[in-house]
């Protein structure tokens, strides 16, 4: 039995390694792939973890937190800039980090500097509480030198001091330009009074509320009732400003904003997909290609329209009964002739336009292969689960009978009789679990076949968890 388990584990590991390689010139990252055993019972879930990937069969998949939804694609995701900033701060600040706690001045400096590419980190004025090896030193001086933050008159920056909600609003308001009335009445948010807003902060608060940035930030009740915003909320606010300046352009840049902000321009890449990606068919590690539809400048290099963009699938959850599934992608690099640039790890926003369906001929030709593969996959996994249940039950049954003989020969007949009873219970449980897997596998096979037919006839139902050839994406870094 143990040898059989070892052999099965080895096969799963080999399969995992075979699909987990990624581009050698871009950094590796953990990946998760879920295979449907669309089961009504959730029985016999299996999980195999390698250094690069987690493979889950028939079990629940927890979506990674570091993701944003690709707009117009409810179940297609990419890495989130806001979440990535939280990961960056956590890695540098050390233990005790909690994104729900109030944002500190040092953390605000990191969010602003990273968000608006504030690179001037020269030490023009030394602050007494910022030593040469302080973890956020460069980001703090980036924010100071650009003018988006200032120090205190006593020559201290106070990096570990929490930033009040009013101070955050004042910081954001100095960057954006939104028309408001100048009455000194604290505005409502979501129909409720915003507390802890002093008189000097009423005008910037009104500007931030009018910008509608707060409508998309997490924990809206906290905005009304608490004195401090969380680290996560502030990261979202800055990320939303970046998104608006890149695509919506409903928020102007404040005429009095620091020059570094006036000169800031988000990187927007417009691409048209060349490959099909979907939660139904794609696998972790699958590469995909796209072509840019407009010129773009990245790190000082100009990439002409038609440049090649490469990406990779990093998470997949197969759709199943009561489970729409999802897919998560990562954009790796852009290439034009001899020049190439890797993209940042995360993006601020991605939006899908010109929604397409794969043409009928392509679906018709591909359907027999995918249908056979998916149905066979569920069938084989069901048989494997039945074998596993039977093997485990046989081992347990043998232990029960062995214990019955040992107890009886040790002059403990009641204990021996009890173990005989346990052996019958083991048989009953085994038969029940085998029946459960068989029924769930049968439903799974029917589901997979029906799902393939439905996709062939009405492909649009799976558009929320797929990216199709010809669809255009706007990506903001």
Percent of the chain past pLDDT 70, that is, above it, reads 83
365 and 253: one domain?
no
Residue 97 has pLDDT above 50, yes or no: yes
The 10s digit of each residue's pLDDT in 312-326 is 988 887 776 667 778
Residue 320 in domain:
no
Q: Which residue in 253, 260, 79 sits closest to 178, CA to CA?
A: 253
Mean pLDDT of 124-141: 91
Query: CA–CA distance from 41 to each of 83, 322, 378, 436, 443 (Å)?
Result: 34, 12, 14, 7, 11
Domain of 430, in residue numbers:
361-463
Q: Which residue in 49, 22, 45, 44 sits closest to 33, CA to CA?
A: 49
Q: Which residue in 477, 451, 455 sits closest to 468, CA to CA?
A: 455
Percent of the chain past pLDDT 90, that is, above it, reads 34
How far is Cα 396 from Cα 402, in angstroms, rounded to an integer?
A: 10
96 and 245: one domain?
yes
Residue 290 has pLDDT above 90, yes or no: yes
Highest mean pLDDT (candidates 36-40, 47-51, 57-61, 459-463): 459-463
Residue 56 has pLDDT above 80, yes or no: no
Q: Which residue has the tokens 């295979």?
A: 35
91 and 199: one domain?
yes
Q: Which residue in 219, 174, 272 sits closest to 469, CA to CA?
A: 272
Residue 56 in domain:
no
Residue that finishes a domain, picked among 262, 287, 316: 262
Residue 40 in domain:
no
Q: How confident is the model at residue 67 (pLDDT cuts 50, 70, 90)?
A: low
Model pLDDT, residue 336: 93
How far is Cα 272 from Cα 353, in angstroms, rounded to an integer?
A: 10
Residue 160 in domain:
yes
Model pLDDT, residue 45: 57
Residue 79 buriedness (CB in 10 A; 0-12 / 13-18 / 19+)? buried
Mean pLDDT of 292-314: 90
107 and 238: one domain?
yes
Model pLDDT, residue 141: 94
Residue 457 has pLDDT above 90, yes or no: no
Task: Measure the CA angle with vertex 156, ends 175 and 227; round to 5°.
Answer: 55
95 and 212: one domain?
yes
Residue 258 has pLDDT above 90, yes or no: yes
Higher pLDDT, residue 394 or 377: 394
For residue 369, what are its two tokens? Answer: 């292969």
Q: How confident is the model at residue 19 (pLDDT cuts 50, 70, 90)?
A: very low
376 and 253: one domain?
no
Model pLDDT, residue 2: 41
Higher pLDDT, residue 19 or 310: 310
Residue 297 in domain:
no
Residue 287 in domain:
no
- Measured from the Cβ of residue 289, the count of other Cβ atoms closer than 10 Å reads 13
Residue that finishes a domain, picked among 242, 262, 282: 262
Residue that finishes a domain, picked among 239, 262, 285: 262
Mean pLDDT of 331-352: 79
Residue 276 has pLDDT above 60, yes or no: yes
Model pLDDT, residue 477: 75
Model pLDDT, residue 394: 92
Higher pLDDT, residue 371 or 264: 264
pTM for the model = 0.66
Mean pLDDT of 114-126: 87
The 10s digit of each residue's pLDDT in 137-196 is 999 999 999 999 999 999 999 999 999 999 999 999 999 999 999 888 999 999 999 999
254 and 399: one domain?
no
Looking at the structure of the chain, the number of domains it has is 2
Q: How confident is the model at residue 3 (pLDDT cuts 50, 70, 90)?
A: very low
Residue 465 buriedness (CB in 10 A; 0-12 / 13-18 / 19+)? buried
Which of 49-53, 182-186, 295-299 has the least mean pLDDT? 49-53
Which of 20-34, 117-131, 198-212, 310-324 has the least mean pLDDT? 20-34
141 and 255: one domain?
yes
How far is Cα 10 from Cα 369, in angstroms, rounded to an integer?
A: 27
């Amino acid at each position: 039995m143990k040898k059989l388990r070892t052999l099965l584990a080895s096969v799963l590991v080999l399969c995992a390694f075979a699909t987990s390689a990624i581009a050698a010139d871009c950094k590796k990252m953990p990946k998760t792939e879920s295979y449907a055993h669309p089961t009504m019972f959730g029985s016999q879930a299996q999980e195999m973890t390698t250094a690069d990937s987690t493979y889950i069969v028939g079990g629940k998949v927890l979506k990674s937190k570091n993701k944003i939804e690709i707009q117009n694609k409810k179940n297609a995701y990419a890495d989130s800039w806001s979440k990535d900033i939280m990961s960056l701060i956590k890695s540098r600040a050390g233990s005790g980090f909690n994104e729900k706690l109030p944002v500190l001045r040092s953390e605000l400096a990191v969010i602003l500097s990273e968000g608006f590419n504030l690179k001037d980190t020269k030490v023009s004025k030394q602050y007494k509480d910022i030593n040469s090896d302080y973890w956020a030193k460069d980001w703090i001086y980036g924010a100071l030198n650009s003018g988006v933050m200032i120090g205190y008159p006593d020559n201290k920056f106070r990096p570990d001091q929490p930033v009040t909600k009013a101070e955050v609003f004042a910081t954001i308001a100095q960057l954006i330009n939104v028309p408001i009335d100048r009455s000194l009445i604290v505005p409502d948010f979501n129909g409720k009074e915003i507390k802890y807003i002093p008189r000097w902060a009423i005008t910037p608060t009104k500007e931030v509320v009018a910008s509608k940035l707060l409508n998309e930030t997490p924990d809206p009740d906290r905005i009304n009732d608490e004195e401090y915003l969380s680290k996560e909320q502030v990261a979202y606010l800055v990320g939303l400003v970046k998104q608006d300046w890149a695509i919506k352009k409903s928020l102007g840049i404040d005429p009095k904003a620091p020059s570094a902000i006036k000169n800031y321009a988000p990187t927007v890449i417009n691409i048209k997909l060349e490959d099909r990606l979907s939660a139904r068919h794609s696998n972790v590690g699958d590469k995909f290609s796209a072509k840019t539809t407009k010129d773009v400048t990245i790190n000082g290099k100009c990439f002409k329209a038609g440049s090649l963009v490469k990406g990779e699938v990093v998470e997949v959850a197969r759709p199943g009964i009561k489970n729409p599934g999802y897919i998560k992608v990562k954009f790796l690099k852009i290439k034009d002739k001899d020049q190439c640039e890797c993209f940042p790890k995360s993006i601020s926003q991605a939006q899908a336009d010109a929604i397409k369906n794969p043409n009928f001929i392509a679906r018709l030709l591909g359907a027999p292969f995918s249908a056979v593969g998916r149905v066979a996959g569920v069938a084989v996994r069901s048989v494997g689960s039945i074998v596993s249940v039977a093997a485990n039950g046989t081992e347990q049954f043998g232990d029960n009978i062995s214990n019955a003989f040992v107890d009886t020969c040790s002059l403990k007949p009641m204990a021996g009789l009890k173990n005989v009873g346990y052996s019958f219970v083991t048989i009953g449980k085994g038969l029940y679990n085998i029946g459960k897997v068989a029924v769930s596998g049968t439903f799974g096979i029917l589901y997979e076949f029906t799902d393939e037919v439905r996709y062939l006839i009405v492909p649009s139902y799976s558009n929320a968890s797929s990216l199709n050839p010809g669809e255009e994406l706007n990506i903001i870094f």
